[in-house]
Homo-oligomer: A and B are copies of this chain.
Amino acid sequence: MTRTYPKIQPYSQDCNDCPIRHRAVCARCESDELELLEQFKYYRSFEAGQTVVWAGDKMDFVASVVTGIATLSQTMEDGRRQMVGLLLPSDFVGRPGRETSAYDVTAATDLVMCCFRKKPFEEMMLRTPHIAQRLLEMTLDELDAAREWMLLLGRKTAREKIASLVCIIARRDASLQLNTSDGELRFDLPLTREAMSEYLGLTLETVSRQMSALRKEGLIVTEGKRQIVIPDFDRLLEETGDDSDGGFLV
């Protein structure tokens, strides 16, 4: 016996105010069955620096980033912090089947999230198999990204780490924005030196020094505080230590 289920349209690019957006399950572009999600959907805004949830706190919703950047971090007792997730617009956060957040969720910039209460979300997951399949796909992508990140943390030099981070953000950005055609990439890197250091497992001083080094060598150009131009993406890529072809998976 073969059944058919309502199809989730994956990666629908232009559904900008959907509750769980194009990299996630898009409820807007869906069958009737999914309409009911709408009634549980709500938006929340945060200012840069604010905490969305603390590790261990109750988190009764799942969400996706609409605008801005959120981070997931772990903190050790003595204060050492490691970022373990970087959420850009369209990324999903929250784990069906868990009561509390395992990580600090923080707004790295001003942030708007689109939230669902977890209960109805879980119920719908049971009724609509394609959601679980879509979510599985997303989670596998995240796992691959985490593993790439592990290579960075475990084996790359400070210089390679910085180059990698800049490339990662540039790619994510480029896949959304229109890229400036002729090899040159322009985008803003909306992370403080401290946030970068938490991402990379470095101190902020080392981040600053290595950024200066890349700047002096012309691999990156900074305009103002956060705006970055990469004159030659391929040249910067060579500094990451990654295989030239190897896929970034985010």
Contacts of A5 in B (CB 8 A): 129
Contacts of A142 in B (CB 8 A): 143
Tell me if A178 is interfacial: C-beta within 8 Å of chain B.
no
Whether B127 and A3, one on each chain, are in contact in the complex, defined by CB atoms closer than 8 angstroms, is: yes
Tell me if A102 is interfacial: C-beta within 8 Å of chain B.
yes
Number of interface residues of A (CB under 8 A): 48
Whether B97 and A137, one on each chain, are in contact in the complex, defined by CB atoms closer than 8 angstroms, is: yes
Whether B241 and A147, one on each chain, are in contact in the complex, defined by CB atoms closer than 8 angstroms, is: no
Given contacts A76-B241, A127-B3, contact A143 B144 (CB under 8 A): no
Whether B151 and A150, one on each chain, are in contact in the complex, defined by CB atoms closer than 8 angstroms, is: no
**Cα(A102)–Cα(B129), bound, Å:** 27
Contacts of A127 in B (CB 8 A): 2-3
Whether B82 and A154, one on each chain, are in contact in the complex, defined by CB atoms closer than 8 angstroms, is: yes
Complex interface residues of chain A between 52 and 98 (CB less than 8 A to chain B):
72, 74, 76-78, 80-82, 84-85, 95-97
Whether A155 and B241, one on each chain, are in contact in the complex, defined by CB atoms closer than 8 angstroms, is: no
Given contacts A125-B133, A132-B132, 8 further A-B contacts (CB under 8 A): A3-B127, A76-B242, A81-B155, A84-B147, A102-B249, A132-B136, A142-B143, A154-B201
